[in-house]
Amino acid sequence: MTARRIDGKAAAQAIRDKIATLVPEFERRAGRPPALTTVLVGEDPASAVYVRSKNRATAEAGMVSFAHNLPATTTEDELLQLVTDLNADGRVDGILVQLPLPPKIDATRVIETIDPAKDVDGFHPINAGRLASGLPSLVPCTPLGCLYLLRQELGDLAGLNAVVVGRSNIVGKPMAQLLLAENCTVTIAHSRTRDVSDVVRNGDVVIAAVGRPEMIRSDWIKPGATVIDVGINRVPTDDGKGRLVGDVAYDEVAEVADAISPVPGGVGPMTIAMLMRNTLVAAHRRAGLADPEGL
Ligand code: NAP
C-alpha cells in the first residue's frame, strides 16, 4: 500500500481563497478591514522569513498588515509597552509576537500581556483554558491546521484512537484538546513515555510534534492509520545546503499508513492559513459579529 499524500498546500490555498472572499463582506459591515500586527524582535533569519510570509499572506487576503521589526537590544519593558499600545489600538484585530524572543525577554510575560481577544496565536492562558473547557477561544494555528487536514481526510473523528507525540503548549497540548473535543480517545506521548513505539502503534490517527528527524518509523504505525507530521527539521546533505524532513520517516511510513502529510507541503502552509482564519475570526468577534461561516 502507498498512502495518500495529504496536500496541505492545496488545502491552505483553498482556505486563504475563501478568507479573501469574506474580507470585503467584513469590511462592509464593520466599516474597516481586519488587521494583523506582527512583532519581530532581533534578526533571527528563520523568524524573519516566517514573519515576512505572514505579512504577505495577510496582504494577499485583503487584510491590513502592520509590522513592527525591533532591534535585538529591545528591552522587555519596551516590548510590553508596545503590546499594551497595540491592545488599545482599535484598528488592530490580531497581535502576533514571533517566538522565540531573545533570552533576556520573558516570553510568558509578553504572551500574558496580549489582549486574549487579539491573541491570534492562541497562546494566552485564557485561550488555552477556554479551549480546555470547551468554550469559544482563539486556538493555536498549527494544531488547528492539523485538525482541518484530519477532518478533510476522515470526516467524523469520533471514537478514533488518536496519539499525539509531543506535549508543547504550542502544538501537542492544544492538539490533544482539539481531538478530545472531536470525541477521539486521546493519548499524549512525550520524552518520558515508556515503549513509545507501542503507544504510537495504537493510533488510528498519529500526530507527530517532536522535533526529531524521522523518529517515527513504519513499524510504529498501525496499518491504515492517518499520520500528520508537524516536525520541521533540517538535516545535513552532501552539498552543504541541508534539507527539511519531518518527525516521520515519510517513505517507509507511506507503505503502512492510509494517508500521510509530507514535510514540506503539509502542516506548514496550514499554519499560515489558520493565522489568517484567526485574524478574521478575531475581527468578527471584536466587531460584535457572528463568526464567519465555514471556517
Ligand atoms: P518542543 O516544544 O520542543 O516539544 C517537543 C515535544 O516532543 C516535547 O513535549 C518532548 O517531550 C517531546 N519529545 C522529545 N523527544 C521525544 C522522544 N524521543 N519521544 C517522545 N517525545 C519526545 O517542540 P514544538 O514546538 O512542539 O515543535 C515540535 C516540532 O514541530 C518541531 O520540529 C517544530 O519545528 C515543528 N513545528 C512546526 C510548525 C509548523 O507550522 N509546521 C509549527 C510549530 C512547530 P518532553 O515534554 O518530555 O520534553
Tell me, in angstroms, the distance from the centre of ligand 1 to residue 145's CA. Answer: 16
The finding on whether 209 has its CB within 6 A of some atom of ligand 1 is: yes
Q: Summarize pLDDT for 210-251 with one digit per residue, the tens.
A: 999 999 999 999 999 999 999 999 999 999 999 999 999 999
The finding on whether 194 has its CB within 6 A of some atom of ligand 1 is: no
Determine the pLDDT at residue 243.
Answer: 95
Q: Summarize pLDDT for 131-150 with one digit per residue, the tens.
A: 999 999 999 999 999 999 99
Determine the pLDDT at residue 164.
Answer: 99
Amino acid at 34: P
Determine the pLDDT at residue 187.
Answer: 99
Q: Summarize pLDDT for 103-128 with one digit per residue, the tens.
A: 999 999 999 999 999 999 999 999 99
Tell me, in angstroms, the distance from the centre of ligand 1 to residue 167's CA. Answer: 7
Active site residue ranges:
54, 98, 121
| Strand-strand pairing, 243-245 and 233-235 | antiparallel
The finding on whether 165 has its CB within 6 A of some atom of ligand 1 is: yes
| Strand-strand pairing, 205-208 and 185-189 | unpaired
Q: Would you place residue 89 in the very low, low, confident or very high pLDDT band (cuts 50, 70, 90)?
A: very high
Determine the pLDDT at residue 157.
Answer: 98
The finding on whether 230 has its CB within 6 A of some atom of ligand 1 is: yes
Q: Summarize pLDDT for 169-214 with one digit per residue, the tens.
A: 999 999 999 999 999 999 999 999 999 999 999 999 999 999 999 9
End-to-end CA distance of the chain: 33
Grid coordinates representing 205 are: 490517527
pTM of the predicted structure, to 2 decimals: 0.98
- Residue 1 in this model has a pLDDT that exceeds 90: no
Grid coordinates representing 29 are: 459591515
